[in-house]
Chain A
Amino acid sequence: MTVVKTVDLVKDYRLNGIAVNALRGVSLSFESGEFAAVAGPSGSGKSTFLHLVGCLDEPTSGTIEIEGTSVAARTRKDLALLRRRSIGFIFQAYNLIPVLTAQENVALPLTLLGTDPWDAKKLAARALAEVGLGDLGKRRPKEMSGGQQQRVAIARALVKKPALILADEPTANLDSKTGKEILEIMLQLNKSEGTTFIFSTHDKMVMDYARRLILLKDGTVDSESVK
């Protein structure tokens, strides 16, 4: 089943008064259960691509379909609900809420979905256990290492069992050992849960882990390989 499909995706914007053509007609599709990386040098358009696919931004032209449904002409609220239900995000800087515990951070997407608090608590604890942090649920982000925080972020993205997880440079702030551990966890979850992962990265290790590698250059698909 096709989880994401983009056709002739174009994104232009102005940065400090200069016109930037971030994407120039990217057509890609991702099937359910893929573990794919979109790589390329800085300015190649990989983050822009992830943002568009994650419905965080609107394309200048072209179409995006998530789970077979076009996201064009949807309201802000509809897009928020789509993200809430179908898409998980993992950010380079973890972006955990500092005043919430690890477990509460993980339970947050479930809270937004209106899950019963007791169930949300249980599911969050299970998700934390899956990323190896079963004992650290009560810790606040500042009491955890970078790797632990990124694991919490993975658990948060995964807990609602979305069709798609978008990870923007997930290992960029981590040392190689921790980065490898994080990638192993994501790979395991991809295999066990069947969740589609799309990374944006310029980390060689992430590219090595990805089963499908898409190289972007100057806003277009330069090459594509599948292992």
Chain B
Amino acid sequence: MKNTVFRDMAAMAFRNLSRHRVKTIITTAAVAVSVALYIFMDSWLLGINLESRRNIVSYEIGAAKIQTPAYFDKKDEQPMYENFGDWESIAEALDKAGYASAPRFVFSGTLYSRAGTAPMVFNAVDAERESRVLRYPGYLEAGRFPTSGKQETAVGTLAAEKLRVGIPRRIARTEFENDLLAAGTTEEERAFIAGLYQPAMSQRKAAKLFSGTASNTKDTDTLVLKKDVAPSERDRLWNLLAATGRMDVRISTVIDIKAAPETIRKEKFENDLLPSLSDAGREAVSGAYTLNGDTGEYRLATTDQRAIDAALAVMLDADYAGAIRHVNQLIDAVVVGVINSPNPKTNANVAYLPIDALQDESGLMLGGRVTELLVRAADAKDTKLPDRRESAESIDTALRTNGVDLSGRGLAVRGWIDYVADYIAASAQDNISSRVMIIFLFVLSFIGIANTMLMAILERTKETGMLRALGMTDGQLVLVYVLEAGMIGAIGSMVGIVIGCAINIPMVAYGIDYSGLSEELSGDYGYRVVAYFRSAWNPIIIGVSGIVATILAAATAIPPTLRALKMPVTDSLRFE
């Protein structure tokens, strides 16, 4: 019997929606817009985050990195002196355990080309192993990946553009004539080069239309590389340009080496170094150094390697800058490729070069040492994020099982998420700001419903009195009004879900082109998505947003109904 009462209450509530159709429609529309925007925003953030995470793992880090803990602590400075050797035994153990690994020596420096300079992060890699862990070596906009043993480098597109190396995608006409056409030594070569480019006008118009970013009217003399240029034509152009020296670059870096200093000035030794050490540390350092009265300097006085190592370790622990020796180094190289992967970090001011070409004195004197070993499951799928098997703990355990104790070697393995604080920050900030915006919108639309219900209940005070006189209980009256508001919420939610999903369909399939933003910020904006920010379906949130909107809408009817029920029935009946 109670079911029939509920059904009739619901029928009455539904009929009540028709009393003020315009108001009901406006309120419903407000709920629909809120729900649709929430679904759109959530799907978009989810899509960007999923793609960013996949791109971080597939193009930038892998599932985890093995480094010294000290390197991790100072990783933003790329402290090349925090390196380790015998990575091959670790790689072998990882191979046995079903993990692929790639050694890297990361260092910073400046890259000079004929036309410019750029501060860079250099990744010295083993091309073959790198390809097992990361996918960017397959994303060459032009040229090829550096060959083992050669002083070659591949750079990111942004660096290539800044340094004017590689094949320009856009180029000013004067520069085109001076730099590119001049690379042709015969008429035929010049005609070949000229035939690869076209005026940028049509693209600019399109860009203006669709993104509104290309508004530089002075750019009329810009040429763009045609989209249908064949790979063989690209290679030929590359070779012609390379012959002019366009691809020749010079790496300038400082080799940092941990070494106990030969001499330390007296004041520095006594006033800076010693006070920063423990008693044992002071003993170790004082035992290794003696004061030279003539020069006023402390000199390394022992030849006992163990004593020197102990003193060095103490100084490094105390972050004594003098324990790092700096050696300037210039390395000549040739740019052989331009990287343009879906992860903007790989396309920024980054250069990749063969690690085996940097081993001796013409390189970085690495002596087989690396700063990190990237790890990914050998059978990992690019579409999937690392699972438990690829966690730092699992990798560490697998290594132990195969006879490698990382902590015993002064190393540690950390999961990829520990390395992407910039992405986490961008994602968290976007999440918060977007959700605050949507919650604000929700609040506005629910103020609308609350107002609609307040007016409706006030207007029906007399009717409420009559219903109470007929024997309707307070609970039944609350139910009728809650159902009425809930129906506004439910209809609005359903419409919102339909609109949200309709927006999501193209957003999931095509996304929004943010390549302009990516270039503008040199790929340094946290998210690891180059061009298209695509949404991703999130059925749980779609359902939950509809349910929450309905419940919130229903709840808005409770306060005015309770207020109306406080009024004596007789007063309600007299209410005009």
User: B568, A57: Cβ atoms under 8 Å?
Assistant: yes
Q: Does A80 contact B (CB under 8 A)?
A: yes
Interface centre among B1, B473, B568 (most CB of A within 10 A): B473
Residues of B within 8 A of A215 (CB): none
Given contacts A80-B468, A99-B19, contact A111 B570 (CB under 8 A): no
Within residues 96 to 152 of chain A, which ones have a CB less than 8 A from any CB in chain B?
97-100, 108-109, 111-114, 116-117
Q: How far is the CB of A71 from chain B (nearest CB, A)?
A: 14
Complex interface: chain B residues within 8 A of A76 (CB): 473-474
What 9 additional pairs, Cβ within 8 angstroms, besides A56-B568, A80-B471, A100-B15? A80-B472, A83-B469, A95-B463, A99-B15, A108-B470, A113-B471, A114-B2, A114-B4, A117-B7
> Which residue of the partner chain, among B7, B18, B475, contacts A99 with CB atoms under 8 Å?
B18
> Interface of A with B (CB < 8 Å)?
51, 54, 56-57, 76-77, 80-85, 87, 89, 91, 93, 95, 97-100, 108-109, 111-114, 116-117, 156
Interface pair A97/B473, CB less than 8 Å apart:
no
Asked if residues B4 and A95 are in contact (CB atoms below 8 Å), the reply is no
Q: Contact at A89–B469, with CB atoms within 8 Å? A: yes
Q: List 12 A-B contacts (CB under 8 A).
A: A54-B469, A56-B570, A77-B474, A80-B474, A82-B471, A87-B471, A97-B463, A100-B12, A109-B470, A113-B471, A114-B5, A117-B7
- Bound Cα distance A113, B16 (Å): 21
Q: Which partner residue on chain B sits nearest A114 by CB separation? A: B1
Nearest neighbor of B16 in chain A, beta-carbon distance: A99
- Asked if B242 is at the interface of the complex by the 8 Å CB criterion, the answer is no
A83 to B472, CA, bound (A): 9
The answer to whether A56 and B569 touch across the interface, beta carbons within 8 angstroms, is: yes
B8 proximal to A (CB < 8 A): yes
Does B476 have its Cβ within 8 Å of any Cβ on chain A?
yes
Cβ-defined contact, B15 with A112, below 8 A: no
Given A56-B573, A112-B5, answer yes or no on A85-B12 (Cβ-Cβ < 8 Å): no
CA distance A189 to B115 in the complex (A): 107
CB contacts (< 8 Å) of B472 on chain A: these are 80, 84, 112
CB of B466 closer than 8 Å to a CB of A = yes
- Give the residues in chain A near B466, CB-CB below 8 Å: 89, 91, 95
Q: Determine if B470 and A89 form an interchain contact, defined as CB atoms under 8 angstroms apart.
A: yes
Could you list which residues of chain B lie within 8 angstroms of chain A, going by C-beta atoms?
A: 1-2, 4-5, 7-8, 12, 15-16, 18-19, 462-463, 466-476, 568-570, 573
Contacts A99-B18, A112-B5, A114-B1; A77 near B470 (Cβ below 8 A):
no
CB nearest neighbor in B for A107: B8
Q: A-B pairs with the 3 shortest C-beta distances?
A: A84-B471, A114-B1, A99-B15
Contact A91 B573, CB 8 Å, known A56-B469, A109-B471, A112-B5: yes
In the complex, chain A residues whose CB is within 8 Å of the CB of B469: 54, 56, 83, 89
Q: Which residue of B lies closest to A57 (CB)?
A: B570
B471: chain A residues within 8 A (beta carbon): 80-85, 87, 109, 112-113
Total residue contacts A-B, CB cutoff 8 A: 75
Residues of B near A114 (CB, < 8 A) are 1-2, 4-5
Interface centre among B468, B471, B476, B569 (most CB of A within 10 A): B471
A80 to B477, CA, bound (A): 12
CB distance from B575 to the nearest CB of A (A): 11
Within 8 Å CB of A98, what residues of B? 19
- In the bound complex, how far is the Cα of B12 from the Cα of A91, in angstroms? 21
B228 → A minimal CB distance (Å): 66
CB distance from B102 to the nearest CB of A (A): 72
In the bound complex, residues from chain A placing their C-beta under 8 Å from that of B15 are 99-100
Question: Distance in Å from the Cβ of A39 to the closest Cβ of chain B?
Answer: 20
Inter-chain contacts of A80 with B (CB < 8 A): 468, 471-474
Least CB distance from A150 to B in Å reads: 14
> Is the CB–CB distance between A99 and B470 below 8 Å?
no
Are A51 and B18 in contact, CB atoms less than 8 angstroms apart? Answer: no
Is the CB–CB distance between A117 and B8 below 8 Å? yes
B462 touches A95 (CB 8 A): yes
> Of B19, B476, B569, B573, which contacts A112 at CB under 8 A?
B476
Give A125 Cβ to nearest chain B Cβ, in Å.
16
Given contacts A56-B469, A77-B473, A77-B474, whether A97 and B5 have CB atoms under 8 Å apart is: no
Q: How near does chain A come to B455, taking the closest CB pair, in angstroms?
A: 16
Cβ contacts under 8 Å, B5 to chain A: 111-112, 114
Q: In this complex, what residue of A is CB-closest to B13?
A: A99
Cβ of A51 and Cβ of B463 under 8 Å apart? no
List the B side residues contacting A51 at CB < 8 Å. 569-570
User: Given contacts A99-B12, A114-B5, A116-B4, are A84 and B470 in contact (CB under 8 A)?
Assistant: yes
Q: How far is the CA of A89 from the CA of B470 in the complex (A)?
A: 7
Q: Report the minimum CB–CB distance from A78 to chain B (whole Å).
A: 10
Q: Are A117 and B4 in contact (CB under 8 A)?
A: yes
A117 to B11 Cα, complex, angstroms: 12
Q: A108-B470, A112-B470 are in contact. Are A97 and B4 (CB under 8 A)?
A: no
Q: For the complex, give the distance between the alpha carbons of A56 and B569 in Å.
A: 6
Which residues on the A side are within 8 Å of B573 (C-beta)?
Answer: 56, 91, 95
Question: What are the residues of chain B within 8 A of A89 when measuring CB–CB?
Answer: 466, 469-470
**Complex formed: what's the CA distance from A114 to B476 in Å?**
13
The smallest C-beta distance from B12 to any residue of chain A, in angstroms, reads 7
Name the B residues within 8 Å of A87 (CB-CB): 471
Bound together, the chains give a CA A31 to CA B471 distance in angstroms of 23
CA distance A95 to B569 in the complex (A): 13
Question: Which residues from B are CB-within-8-Å of A109?
Answer: 470-471
Residue ID in chain B nearest A108 by CB atoms: B470
Chain B residues near A77 (CB-CB < 8 A): 473-475
Determine how close the nearest CB of chain A comes to the CB of B8; give it in whole angstroms: 4
Taking CB atoms, residues of chain A closer than 8 Å to B474 are: 76-77, 80
Q: Which residues in B have their C-beta under 8 angstroms from that of A156?
A: 470
Chain A, residue nearest B5 (CB): A114
Closest beta carbon of chain A to B472's beta carbon, Å: 6
Please name all residues of chain B whose beta carbon is closer than 8 Å to the beta carbon of A83 when the two chains form the complex: 469-471
Per the bound structure, the CA–CA distance linking A109 and B556 in Å amounts to: 27
Q: How far is the CA of A139 from the CA of B430 in the complex (A)?
A: 56
> B572 — nearest CB in chain A belongs to which residue?
A56
Q: Which residue of B lies closest to A112 (CB)?
A: B471
**A49 to B38 CA separation, bound complex (whole angstroms):** 56
Report the Cα distance A191→B573, complex, angstroms. Answer: 29
Greatest chain A CB density within 10 A among B19, B462, B466, B474 is at B466
What's the minimum C-beta distance from A90 to chain B, rounded to whole angstroms? 10
The docked-state distance in angstroms from the alpha carbon of A14 to that of B12 is: 36
CB closest chain-B residue, reference A51 = B570
Instruction: Write out the residue numbers on chain A whose beta carbons fall within 8 Å of the beta carbon of B1.
Output: 114
Q: State A54–B569 Cα separation when bound (angstroms).
A: 11
The CA-CA distance from A91 to B467 in the complex, in Å, is: 12
Return B4 CB to nearest CB of chain A, in Å.
6
**Residue numbers in A under 8 Å from B19 (CB-CB):** 98-99
- Could you tell me the distance in whole angstroms from the C-beta of B154 to the nearest C-beta in chain A? 73
Quote the shortest CB–CB distance from A92 to chain B (angstroms): 10
Residues of the B chain whose Cβ atoms lie less than 8 Å from the Cβ of A81: 471, 473
In the complex, the answer to whether B462 meets A97 with C-beta atoms within 8 Å is no
A53 → B minimal CB distance (Å): 12
CA–CA, A87 to B462, complex, Å? Answer: 18
